[in-house]
Structure 1
Amino acid sequence: MCQQTITETALLRQPGLLAFLIGRNVAAFSSQVQAVAVGWQMYALTHSAAALGFVGLMQFLPMVALIFPAGHVADQFNRRRVVMTCQMIETCSAVVMAIASFEHVLGPWGIYAMVMLFGACRAFEMPAQQTFLPSLVPATLFPKAAALSSSIFQVASIAGPSLGGVLYGLGAGTCYALCAAGFGTAATATCMMQLQFAARARQPMTLESVFGGIAFLRRKAAMLGAISLDLFAVLLGGATALLPLYADAILHAGPVGLGLLRAGPAIGAVIMATLLTRWPLNRHAGRFMFLSVAIFGVATIVFGLSRSIALSVFALMVLGAADVVSVMVRGALVQLGTPDEMRGRVSAVNMLFIGSSNQLGEFESGMLASTIGAIPAVVLGGVGTLIVTVLWMRFFPGLRDLDRLDEIKSD
């Protein structure tokens, strides 16, 4: 117990960690509020599952176009300034959305345009931001720091949807105004971070440099397996794009119910992340990762078949708790297994896979739901996740046999 207390105290005393946690998680809170407002506003304007799917596609398109140059930028320029610039643009875009909503001139195409701008900012922001934590804490403290960061992130993810659902009753403009304040606060916290950028000779933006992250991952089978497992599992099993439809047409829960549904995964995730902060994965990390993805698929099926708001929220909580384990293992592999001069580009590939699974998964869910119905689409996705889990255990035995996270080393 004494050693545990000493370790936690040492973690909290790491210079720059507090500013990092504030900046990352206030931005996450604002993004969640914005997601609730955009989803509900789009559905109110169109009453279309396909339109909800296109919201995900509009975020994905700029990411897939810009993510590789963004990784190069993260490895060649001051990463803190890159993140600050993106957060300031997000602040301005949220102000525009708030004013347009208050004036009742923000239509579906305006929402798509703002979402695309936001996606472009995230393409540059996330690869740079994901390199911060391994630069702020030593490898021995990284699993605990990642769990702490994840638990606070999930608290923001709980508060964001819940507050967003409540504030939407006052109008979408109120939600967007709060987002603008949040993104501005995140930019200020990022500016205050005590993070030293290692000066390096800048490389020209060549194809070899821009796509260096892919070449690196081709040599790292376990890392590639973890990233691609998340891609296909969430691509098939993700149902978040359909939450407005479920809240309205299936569960009849309204905007507040939508906030609860969006908060469900975060509630489960924060519980799991808190447990992992106290008791990190010390052994058999790879096997726990595969087990968690399988549970993710089962929880998706239960949510798809549920007609009860309580059962639906519980299924989403289990889904969120399972996802945290996968995120923790993948994060340790990517950040600790990559040398600092490559972290931006490898994080860019990681973000492309995450963006593909989230935004493209939302598009896939919306399109499939508009064709065969929401319930069959969600259930079929959960079954697909289970199939992918079994296949990846066979294709990537090194990931399956991964043991201790704190022993991962970069070449």
Structure 2
Amino acid sequence: MATILPPDADEPAMPETPSRAPSPLSFPDYRYYWLARFTAVMATIAMVVVIGYQLYDTARTDYGMSIKEASFQLGLLGLFQFVPLAVLTPVAGWVADRFERRSVAIFSNLIDLTIASALAWFTWTDGLTLPLLFGLGALHGVARVFSGPAMSAIAPNIVPPAVLPRAIAMSSIAWQSASVIGPAAGGLIYAAHPTSVYIFSATLLAVSALMISRVRPVLPPPAEVRRHPLREMLDGLQFTWRERFLLGTITLDLFAVILSGATALLPVFARDILHSDLMENATMLGLLRAAPALGAAVVALGLAWRPIERNVGVKMLWAVVVFGAATMAFGLSTNLFLSLAMLALLGAADMFSVFVRGTLIQLNTPDHMRGRVSAVSGLAISASNELGEMRAGSMAAAFGPITAVVFGGAAAIGVTALWAWLFPELRRARTFEPQFKTPG
């Protein structure tokens, strides 16, 4: 299915009043897409939260590691998830631009369903080991690298361009609301019966695959000239590199989150820092992981109701500053409720930045390049998350988890100031109107 464009238009045009555009949910395909995203994210995040806790607990209990040593294992888990992303991202972007995008997304869901089934079995039989958890974490990285570009490239093809900003916001609501429910549900289900959390995830992944299969086929746009696959993969990287606006937008998130990511260390805070007699450690971890998503969901609802239209670049930069400051406050807090509030704040700031960045990237990329550019953006996001986990785990091993988190928040603020100077295009972005000048 081709992108819905006005006659004789080469690129999607941004409406003057996006808040008056129809709801994306008025399109049946988008409803299926939204449900597929919601269920898949809830399943995978619930699964990943428990994997992190089981890995940390296994390292502490079965391998007798100290807090610093076990924290380093969490960093290694991030590295194991990043390696397949780094290697396969160009391939995943090319696949999303050359094959039917629903099939790619379903294939990714089935990989994660296999992982959930394997973890259910090994948890039931008490057969978990660190190598097994690292291996399944790496396989999850493979699923993510193919899912991201395919799902991102589907949305602009099932709604008109005028609806796209609101569709991105509502897609973020699916992501963030699932990110609120998933960690909390994962922690509670795991505390009640460890194996059940993976059965829960496997069921939701099957539902997600069914929902995405109901969307009409999203065929890749025809290419004027077919080139060698390696050449086409390289085109996505070159296009992103040439367009300084896209480059600055993508790399801002990359370096800010690499330096400030604290989620990898949440098992440490839940088990050994934020003590509470009111709940199990796994339940506390679920609340800590859900708090950023709760803040993000509130912002996403507001943006879906009334998307921002002016001074989008400056607002994105300030959102990253707030993200860094809230990260520092969380690292210094020893009170559970203050920590939850700071996590909610950093999640809200991150959601604001994600909304602006995601809309700018989608509207500044030609449709025939969306899969490859989405793959580059996805690699940056994954690199920021997984390498950020490695940075946090390594620094926690050397200096302690609190120092690692506080330093990361301060570094994110510094990166934002530097990027505002290096990429003045970001400050000058007044609206979501396309900024790129290079032909696709």
Structure 1 residues 163-199: Cα deviation after superposition (integer angstroms, max 9, x where no partner): 1111111343211111111111111111111243146
Structure 1 residues 322-359: Cα deviation after superposition (integer angstroms, max 9, x where no partner): 01111111111221111111111111110110010001
Match of 2:309, SS state, is coil
Structure 1 residues 199-243: Cα deviation after superposition (integer angstroms, max 9, x where no partner): 636945543211211110122111111110000111111100000
- The aligned runs of 1:62-77 (5 Å cut-off) are 62-77=84-99
Structure 1 residues 276-326: Cα deviation after superposition (integer angstroms, max 9, x where no partner): 112211100000000000000000000000001100010011100001111
- Please name the residue that 1:185 is paired with: 207
- Structure 2 Cα separation of the partners of residues 132 and 4 of structure 1: 20
Question: What is the letter of the counterpart of residue 274 of structure 1?
Answer: L
- Please name the residue that 2:119 is paired with: 97
- The aligned runs of 1:301-340 (5 Å cut-off) are 301-340=328-367
Question: What is the letter of the counterpart of residue 37 of structure 1?
Answer: V
Contact 2:43 2:205 in 1 (8 A): yes
- Structure 2 Cα separation of the partners of residues 11 and 305 of structure 1: 41
Q: Which residue of 361, 364, 373 corresponds with 1:346?
A: 373
- Structure 2 Cα separation of the partners of residues 277 and 243 of structure 1: 29
- Structure 1 Cα separation of the partners of residues 88 and 331 of structure 2: 34
CA shift for structure 1 position 249: 0.8
CA shift for structure 1 position 6: 6.6
- Please name the residue that 2:24 is paired with: 11
- Please name the residue that 2:253 is paired with: 230
Q: Which residue of 112, 115, 125 corresponds with 2:147?
A: 125
- The aligned runs of 1:152-301 (5 Å cut-off) are 152-198=174-220, 200=222, 203=226, 205-253=228-276, 254-301=281-328
- Please name the residue that 2:428 is paired with: 401
Contact 2:19 2:305 in 1 (8 A): no
Question: What is the letter of the counterpart of residue 21 of structure 1?
Answer: W
Unaligned runs of 5+ in 2: 1-16, 61-69
Structure 1 residues 37-69: Cα deviation after superposition (integer angstroms, max 9, x where no partner): 101111110021011111111110111011111
- Structure 1 Cα separation of the partners of residues 220 and 149 of structure 2: 16
Answering whether residue 137 of structure 2 is matched by residue 115 of structure 1, we say: yes
Contact 1:223 1:399 in 2 (8 A): no
- Structure 2 Cα separation of the partners of residues 389 and 132 of structure 1: 31
Q: Out of 211-220 and 377-386, give the one that drifted further.
A: 211-220
- Structure 2 Cα separation of the partners of residues 76 and 4 of structure 1: 31
CA shift for structure 1 position 7: 3.5
Structure 1 residues 247-278: Cα deviation after superposition (integer angstroms, max 9, x where no partner): 11110141111111101100100111111112
Match of 1:16, SS state, is helix
Contact 1:139 1:406 in 2 (8 A): no
- Structure 2 Cα separation of the partners of residues 199 and 340 of structure 1: 7
- Structure 1 Cα separation of the partners of residues 87 and 140 of structure 2: 13
- The aligned runs of 1:350-365 (5 Å cut-off) are 350-365=377-392
Match of 1:106, SS state, is coil
Identity level (%): 38
- Structure 2 Cα separation of the partners of residues 248 and 11 of structure 1: 42
CA shift for structure 1 position 11: 2.6
- Please name the residue that 2:13 is paired with: none
- Structure 2 Cα separation of the partners of residues 4 and 94 of structure 1: 40
Question: What is the letter of the counterpart of residue 361 of structure 1?
Answer: G
CA shift for structure 1 position 124: 1.1
Question: What is the letter of the counterpart of residue 49 of structure 1?
Answer: S
- Structure 2 Cα separation of the partners of residues 172 and 61 of structure 1: 28
CA shift for structure 1 position 373: 0.4
- Please name the residue that 2:33 is paired with: 20
- Structure 2 Cα separation of the partners of residues 179 and 199 of structure 1: 33
Which aligned runs of 4 or more in structure 1 are off by greater than 6 angstroms? 3-6
As a proportion of its length, which structure holds more helix?
1
Answering whether residue 78 of structure 2 is matched by residue 56 of structure 1, we say: yes
Q: Out of 299-308 and 170-179, give the one that drifted further.
A: 170-179
Q: Out of 218-227 and 381-390, give the one that drifted further.
A: 218-227
Contact 1:16 1:195 in 2 (8 A): no
Match of 1:283, SS state, is coil
Structure 1 residues 373-409: Cα deviation after superposition (integer angstroms, max 9, x where no partner): 0011111101100110100010111111101125667
Match of 2:195, SS state, is helix
Aligned residues: 408
- Structure 1 Cα separation of the partners of residues 120 and 332 of structure 2: 36
- Structure 2 Cα separation of the partners of residues 200 and 150 of structure 1: 29
Question: What is the letter of the counterpart of residue 296 of structure 1?
Answer: F
Distance 1:5 1:315, change over 3 A: closer
- Structure 1 Cα separation of the partners of residues 363 and 35 of structure 2: 22
Distance 1:229 1:294, change over 3 A: same
Unaligned runs of 5+ in 1: none
Answering whether residue 399 of structure 2 is matched by residue 372 of structure 1, we say: yes
Structure 1 residues 88-121: Cα deviation after superposition (integer angstroms, max 9, x where no partner): 1211221111011101112111111111111111
CA shift for structure 1 position 5: 9.3
Answering whether residue 49 of structure 2 is matched by residue 36 of structure 1, we say: yes
